[in-house]
Chain A
Amino acid sequence: MKNLTLKSAKEKLIKKEISAKELTKFYLERIKKLDKEINSFNIVCEKEALEQAEKADKLLSEKQDLPLLGIPIAIKDLFSTKGVQTTASSNVLKGYIPPYDATVIQKLKDAGAIILGKTNCDAWAHGSSGENSDFGPTKNPWDQTRTPGGSSSGSASAVTADFALASTGTDTGGSIRLPASFTNTVGLKPTYGRVSRYGVIAMASSLDSIGHFTKTVEDSALFLNITAGKDQMDATTPDVPVPDYTKSLNQDIKGLRIGVPKEFFIDGLDLKIRQAIKNALKFYEEEGAEIIEVSLPNTEHAIATYYIIQPAEVSSNLARYDGIRYGNSRESFGAEAKRRIMLGTFTLSVGYYDAYYKKAMRIRTLIKQDYEKVFEKVDAIVAPVSPSMPWKLGEKINDPLTMYLSDIFTVTGNLAGIPGLSVPAGFSEGLPIGMQISGPQFSEELLFRLGHKFEINHDFYTKQPEL
């Protein structure tokens, strides 16, 4: 049962080569044996998972056809799960048991998925390395002295370590794409509003995108088929039809125009990453795509803009935690949450609002317009996800600004609300490299098509870390 994909596991379940219970036990045992070191799970729901697996086996024997029937998955501990502790990896919510499921959780359960547990992350999803978790950092299974990226650190590590077939994540400034690129997994940050935020602990509400990690692009498309769509409970989900994302995977890419933003190939970009992206672009060119250099001139302002807008929304969203109705007192907030609450409170305060917050909202317009202009000339953009390789745990923890700068290639996508897919693009000295494919809003089909083409010709996803 090692190294299955969502798709291959589904086939084996339907053919009765394995049962849902066997598969669930396989992952639970791996987690028990190997996750002490990796620390990708905050809690494991062994009893509930085995019960769900038994139900799934019954439905499978009745030939019920549900898209994820019997598929064990992991959930970032930011998604409310009815009856199962949900903490956002913060001591503020330690012991909190949600009385309802997030929309995405409900949809995954309805699709027959089995929830193995809740994964570790930077507390409140604030961070790029997982080290801001109040429950200890997650390690990168490819090199346990290094970060798996954050904030969805546990979800990324769990998939690459073969603890689950897929996992959910959230991406406000790169929190899915960065850890995907650091762990040889496929990470999708969908278009803002494509997937409901209802029941997912809010970080910055105008930026939060709800996505997932899988081993393959095809699995990512399968997963989005279930999570995407308008939700009555989230007023920011536009009524855009949800296609079958797996249908167009194999369409040809000949004639597609791929943009390469020159601002993403700066001096600070690691040479190994630069080379991997160059190789990918060469591949696309050989497959008949046209490679065009483009410019996103406001990229240099993106981190500063993001670090006004995001903490402003964080300070507002975290104001609700008073320890009265649920959770613990505000004294339980960790250092990074305090920093962001204060930064946001400051930029929204009298006398500073116009100079900071209003200014940032105007530059957000410029960043959005940069993309609109580029997408008149090209169909998609291919770029690095991260300027650097996975760094050592502890390396950036005392310098918040340096940590913030690691999101330089991902935050623009959140500010513009466009989708981004991180796809494995190779290795250097045993560490994974990811490439980012972005497109206009609601162009997920195109991103999958480009990602799938690359994936089936390179097979990086078949490589697994030794544990």
Chain B
Amino acid sequence: MVIDVLHISKLANLTLNDKEIKLFEKQLSSVLDYIQKLQQVNTDNIGETSQITGLVNITRKDENTPSLQQPDAIANGKKIHNGLFEVNAILEQ
């Protein structure tokens, strides 16, 4: 099976160069061929396991607790303006 690497990289917000596109196409296709074999396993009437703890709906009281202060929360940001993260515009006028 051949995978459309360019399309997938756009969905995943990754920028790839031509060399990477070629390499990943080959490598990912061989992995896909391998996982393809699961199609032969009979899973009729078998439920899905997305987690194995058996826990359901873990909640806590909706109470304020001490949390990160703003200076700590933004300390690792590269572009900070007035104590806020600065990002590129995503909508045009």
A is bound by B: yes
Residues of A within 8 A of B (CB): 96-97, 99-100, 192-193, 206, 232, 235-236, 238, 298, 301, 303-305, 307-308, 315, 319, 323-327, 330-331, 333, 335, 338-339, 341-343, 345-346, 349, 355-356, 358-366, 368, 400-401, 404, 415-417, 441
Q: Does B76 contact A (CB under 8 A)?
A: yes
**Which 5 pairs between the two chains have the least Cβ-Cβ distance?**
A326-B76, A417-B52, A361-B48, A362-B43, A235-B58
Residue of A nearest to B51 (CB): A206
Say whether B46 contacts A366, CB under 8 Å.
yes
Say whether B30 contacts A206, CB under 8 Å.
no
Q: Known interface pairs A206-B51, A338-B14. Does A363 touch B41 (Cβ–Cβ under 8 Å)?
A: yes
Residues of B within 8 A of A331 (CB): 15
Q: Report the Cα distance A364→B38, complex, angstroms.
A: 11
Say whether B47 contacts A99, CB under 8 Å.
no
Residues of B within 8 A of A356 (CB): 35, 38
Q: Does B72 contact A (CB under 8 A)?
A: yes
Q: Does B78 contact A (CB under 8 A)?
A: yes
Residue in B16, B46, B76, B77 whose CB lies within 8 Å of A338: B16
Residue in A97, A326, A363, A368 whose CB lies within 8 Å of B38: A363
With A307-B34, A401-B34 given, name 12 new contacts (CB 8 A): A192-B53, A193-B53, A236-B53, A238-B53, A301-B41, A319-B13, A324-B79, A345-B11, A365-B47, A365-B49, A368-B52, A416-B52
Residue of B nearest to A345 (CB): B12
Q: Known interface pairs A99-B75, A100-B68, A324-B87. Does A343 touch B13 (Cβ–Cβ under 8 Å)?
A: no
Residues of B within 8 A of A (CB): 3, 5, 8-9, 11-16, 20, 23-24, 27-28, 30-32, 34-35, 37-39, 41, 43, 46-55, 58, 60, 68, 72-79, 85, 87
Say whether A346 contacts B8, CB under 8 Å.
yes
Residues of B within 8 A of A349 (CB): 8, 11
Residue of B28, B31, B32, B55 with most partner-chain A CB within 10 A: B31
Residues of A within 8 A of B27 (CB): 339, 400-401
Residues of B within 8 A of A338 (CB): 9, 14, 16, 20, 24
Residue of A nearest to B13 (CB): A330
Min CB gap B13→A, angstroms: 6
Say whether B49 contacts A97, CB under 8 Å.
no
Say whether A327 contacts B53, CB under 8 Å.
no
Q: How many A-B residue pairs lie within 8 Å, measured between CB atoms?
A: 141
Residue in A99, A358, A401 whose CB lies within 8 Å of B73: A99
Main secondary structure on chain A at its contact with chain B? helix
Residues of A within 8 A of B12 (CB): 315, 319, 341-342, 345
Min CB gap A153→B, angstroms: 22
Min CB gap B37→A, angstroms: 6
Residue of A nearest to B73 (CB): A99
Q: Report the Cα distance A362→B47, complex, angstroms.
A: 6
Min CB gap A435→B, angstroms: 24
Residue of A nearest to B58 (CB): A235
Min CB gap A265→B, angstroms: 21
Residues of B within 8 A of A206 (CB): 50-52
Min CB gap A209→B, angstroms: 11
Residue of A nearest to B31 (CB): A401
Residues of B within 8 A of A346 (CB): 3, 8, 28, 32
Residue of B nearest to A192 (CB): B52
Min CB gap A339→B, angstroms: 6
Q: Report the Cα distance A308→B31, complex, angstroms.
A: 10
Q: Report the Cα distance A171→B41, complex, angstroms.
A: 27
Residues of A within 8 A of B51 (CB): 206, 236
Residues of B within 8 A of A301 (CB): 37-38, 41
Say whether B14 contacts A330, CB under 8 Å.
yes
Residues of A within 8 A of B55 (CB): 193, 235-236, 238
Q: Report the Cα distance A358→B38, complex, angstroms.
A: 11
Q: Known interface pairs A206-B51, A304-B37, A361-B49. Does A330 touch B15 (Cβ–Cβ under 8 Å)?
A: yes
Say whether B52 contacts A342, CB under 8 Å.
no
Say whether A360 contacts B68, CB under 8 Å.
no
What are 13 A-B pairs at a CB distance below 8 A?
Answer: A99-B68, A99-B76, A301-B37, A304-B34, A307-B31, A319-B12, A319-B13, A356-B38, A359-B39, A362-B49, A363-B43, A366-B43, A401-B34
Residue in B11, B34, B48, B79 whose CB lies within 8 Å of A365: B48
Q: Report the Cα distance A355→B43, complex, angstroms.
A: 12
Q: Report the Cα distance A99→B67, complex, angstroms.
A: 11
Q: Report the Cα distance A363→B41, complex, angstroms.
A: 8
Min CB gap A442→B, angstroms: 11
Residues of A within 8 A of B15 (CB): 330-331
Q: Known interface pairs A192-B53, A193-B53, A330-B15. Does A342 touch B5 (Cβ–Cβ under 8 Å)?
A: yes
Residues of A within 8 A of B74 (CB): 325
Q: Report the Cα distance A388→B87, complex, angstroms.
A: 49
Min CB gap A411→B, angstroms: 13
Min CB gap A344→B, angstroms: 8
Q: Known interface pairs A308-B38, A338-B16. Does A232 touch B75 (Cβ–Cβ under 8 Å)?
A: no
Residues of B within 8 A of A238 (CB): 53-55
Say whether B76 contacts A339, CB under 8 Å.
no
Residue in A304, A335, A345, A441 whose CB lies within 8 Å of B35: A304
